[in-house]
Structure 1
């Protein structure tokens, strides 16, 4: 079974046209590549009317083969010395047949085998671009811009909700920092290590927990309902499931967020920041569907949805979606 979903793609035999792929083969007539295809498969072509039975045509009689050459015929003289065929009738210097049309050195066909090409075209068949549910994949630049907008929105929420706790933390941290700075500026060779207060330890845990919860509350419900956060809505991209275009639901949206957001709890040792950075780069490792690791965990994909665009396929069945769960 083909892993390419049904839809309109460029015809591999003629890239200036496009045809409809039904998941198993090409159907219908080709249309120009820049034309807007209809929704779904092309309409069925009417069958031509049955032609009336034509009267049998008598078989032509073979012409009699002459017993010899016609009268006056004589063998043609050989070409003059030094004669060369015209330039248009001979290959250019150094011409060799394409490598795909000649066997490797020493190759011998199996007894009784018939020579054949590895594919029906004299060139490798191009793989059509994946279009989940008839929508184009979101570009990496738009996804990065959307993520930066979301980071700014979550940071603004932290300023409003978490700002007071950060202020209390700085009240205890600033005297320690000032004392260490004065010792360093005085040239002390044995600076006294300042210990943080118990309130600083409590506040640091509370600040990280609140920041993680604010990110969860900002992203998971919006992805569960519309598939779009503020940044994704501005950039015209959307998170959809691999097998359908409806709402993801909170459980699935939480699974997608948790693979990235829960690492915020490990910012204190820098491990969380490194893992989140790698997760952000993970779409570069999937050239087919551009799925990040958290998309693979939730079975989702990010697509581009310009204003007025609607999916051309509502639901994929039997796991026919490219790269989708089987």
Structure 2
């Protein structure tokens, strides 16, 4: 799959700012969109060390409570004189003391317990710390939440290779039409004599064909002469070479033909901002221009048409098929605009070959 190289891009959450995309997600704080981005990723302070997870309290071994005075094991016989408690009787709360019988004096120092009084803890136990609460029986310590390395991973940011916006489809179409017009003018100047010689052989045959049609007779099939076939191949070959000599050297050096220069767009390397060189420029042109040699059977024209429409198949980087072959991308370069940051090395570039 194709993705973006690391670099500064417009933040989809706030298009008035830009943030650094490291190939997997966002890093650092956002800066204004019109500010000059620093070279490379933003310098961030070391993230705070995560606190060690709190260990869950271990269950203590069960210790049977110390039986209070008068306790009897289950199944024992009630003492003599014991009676069944009446209906509605409730167990007294801890710390309750039997009031003295009417007419008898309470023991020395006896006081009525105040409301909310609780039985003191057994002797030898430590009181719990202030604010301590017993956890429920099924409570467990939740695992620490892992902090994601980025604020968010989606949505996918708007592609800005080397800090430049992608060229619009309308700009690319207008630049291509201008280049076609320039190559056509070159063909009129250089290839015009061969076209004229071909027409000298074709016109008599065509006139005879029209005369037969007007007379109502069955016309003869138009069969090109050997000289016409040779001229036709020469014309196509010269037209292909003129296109190659016009486009490949211009893209190899400055990344712009005349049409791209007039429309303010440029072909740049996907990995860095250096010129792509003639070898890659030739490979980029050949993916589109070499099919001119098959115009005679219309196959070349159909392939070139599909290649010209292929940027619409890639909404992410708007790469045509010939851009994918050469690992290039077409960006908009208004006057005075320069790339601000370099992309990631080839091995770390998620927008590379699939």
Q: What's the TM-score, normalizing by structure 1?
A: 0.70
Could you tell me how far apart the structure 2 residues matched to 1:39 and 1:120 are?
21
Q: Per the alignment, do residues 289 and 273 of structure 1 end up closer, same or farther by CA in structure 2, a change over 3 Å counting?
A: same
Aligned to 2:257: 229
1: CA distance between counterparts of 2:43 and 2:220?
Answer: 86
Distance in 2 between residues matched to 1:289 and 1:43, nearest whole Å? 24
Aligned counterparts of 1:16 and 1:235: Cα–Cα separation in 2:
25
**Cα distance in 2 between the residues matched to 1:137 and 1:223:** 17
Task: Report how far residue 41 of structure 1 moved.
Answer: 5.9
Over 3 Å counting, the alpha-carbon distance change for 1:113 and 1:271 in structure 2 is farther
CA distance in 1 between counterparts of 2:253 and 2:320 reads 20
What does 1:77-88 align with in structure 2 at a 5 Å threshold? none
Which residue of 2 is the match for residue 39 of structure 1? 38
Q: 1:1-326 to 2 correspondence within 5 Å?
A: 3-10=4-11, 12=13, 17-23=17-23, 26-32=26-32, 35-40=34-39, 125-188=154-217, 190-325=218-353
Contact 1:253 1:298 in 2 (8 A): yes
Runs of 5+ consecutive residues of structure 1 not aligned to the other structure: 48-65, 69-111
Count of residues paired in the alignment: 260
Q: Distance in 2 between matches of 1:191 and 1:45?
A: 82
1:107 is matched with none
Distance 1:202 1:18, change over 3 A: closer
**Residues 1:244 and 1:210: Cα distance change in structure 2 (over 3 Å):** same
Residue matched to 1:98: none
Cα deviations across residues 192-231 of structure 1 (Å, max 9, x unaligned)? 2343322111101110110111111111111111111111
Distance in 2 (CA, whole Å) between partners of 1:279 and 1:135 is 24
Task: Give the distance between the partners of 2:154 and 2:161, measured in 1 at CA.
Answer: 21
Q: Which has the higher contact order (CA 8 A, sep 6+)?
A: 2
Taking a change above 3 Å as real, the CA distance of residues 321 and 234 of structure 1, as seen in their structure-2 partners, is farther
Report the RMSD for the aligned CA atoms in angstroms: 3.4
Task: Decide whether the 8 Å contact of 1:133 with 1:316 is kept in 2.
Answer: no
Report the secondary structure of 2:11's partner residue. Answer: strand
SS of residue matched to 1:20: strand
SS of aligned partner of 1:255: helix
Deviations 1:140-159 (A, max 9, x none): 11000000000000000000
- 2:235 and 2:15 map into 1 onto residues whose CA distance is 57
C-alpha distance in 1 between matches for 2:313 and 2:24: 28
> SS state of the match for residue 267, structure 2?
strand
Radius of gyration: which is bigger? Answer: 2
Runs of 4 or more above 6 Å deviation: none
8 Å Cα contact 1:169/1:203 also seen in 2: yes
Say if 1:315 and 1:7 are closer, same or farther in 2 by CA, change over 3 A. closer
